[in-house]
Amino acid sequence: MSQFIDDVDQRTRLVGQNRMELLLFHLGGKQTFGINVFKVREVIAKPKLMHLPGSSPVVTGVANIRGRTVSVIDLAHAIGFAAQPVDEAQDAKVIVTEFNRSVQGFWVSAVDRIVNVSWETVKPPPHGTERESYLVAVTEVDQRLVEIIDVERVFAQVNKLKVDVSEEMQKQAEEVSHDRRILIVDDSLVARKQVERAIVELGFRTETRSDGRAALEFLEELAAEDAVDTSIEMVITDIEMPRMDGYTLTRKIRENSKLKHLRVILHSSLSGQFNVDMVKRAGADDFLAKFDPDELSATVLRYVERAD
Residue 77 neighbours by CB under 8 Å, 6+ apart: 57, 58, 83, 84
Question: Is the same domain home to 153 and 6?
Answer: yes
Residues 245-257, mean pLDDT to the nearest whole number: 94
Q: What pLDDT, on a 0 to 100 scale, did the predictor assign at position 38?
A: 81
At 279 the pLDDT is: 75
For residue 149, what are the β-bridge partners? 135
26 lies in the same domain as 136: yes
Task: State pLDDT tens for residues 59-87.
Answer: 999 999 998 999 999 999 999 887 666 55
Per-residue pLDDT, 282? 81
> For residue 129, is pLDDT > 90?
no
Angle between helices 293-307 and 189-201 (to 10 degrees): 60
Q: What is the pTM of this model?
A: 0.80
Query: Of 139, 158, 177, which one is at a domain's C-terminal end?
Result: 158
**Is residue 269 predicted with pLDDT exceeding 90?**
no
**End position of a domain, from candidates 135, 158, 181:** 158
pLDDT at 87: 55
**pLDDT grade for 130, boundaries at 50, 70 and 90:** low
CB atoms within 10 A of CB 94: 25
- What CATH code is carried by the domain that includes residue 184? 3.40.50.2300
Are residues 249 and 122 both part of a single domain?
no
- What pLDDT, on the 0 to 100 scale, is given for residue 128? 63
Q: pLDDT tens digits for 160-205?
A: 777 789 999 999 999 888 889 999 999 888 889 999 999 999 999 9
Domain count, the chain: 2
Q: Tell whether the model's pLDDT for residue 149 goes beyond 60.
A: yes
The dihedral over CA atoms of 202, 262, 232, 152, expressed in degrees to the nearest 10, equals: -60
Q: Give the whole-angstrom CA distance, residue 254 versus residue 227.
A: 17
- Three-state DSSP at 236 gives strand
% of the chain with per-residue pLDDT over 70: 87
Whether residues 210 and 122 share a domain: the answer is no
Where residue 16 falls among pLDDT bands split at 50, 70, 90?
low
Average pLDDT over residues 237-249: 89
DSSP-assigned beta bridge partners for residue 22: 36, 115
Residues 213-237, mean pLDDT to the nearest whole number:
97
State whether 151 and 199 are in the same domain.
no
Q: What are the tens digits of pLDDT across the range 23-51?
A: 999 998 899 999 988 889 899 998 889 98
Domain containing 10: what range? 2-158
Q: Look at residues 183, 156, 293 and name the one whose alpha carbon lies nearest to residue 238.
A: 183
**Which of 101, 133, 158 is where one domain is finished?**
158
On average, the pLDDT of the chain sits at 86
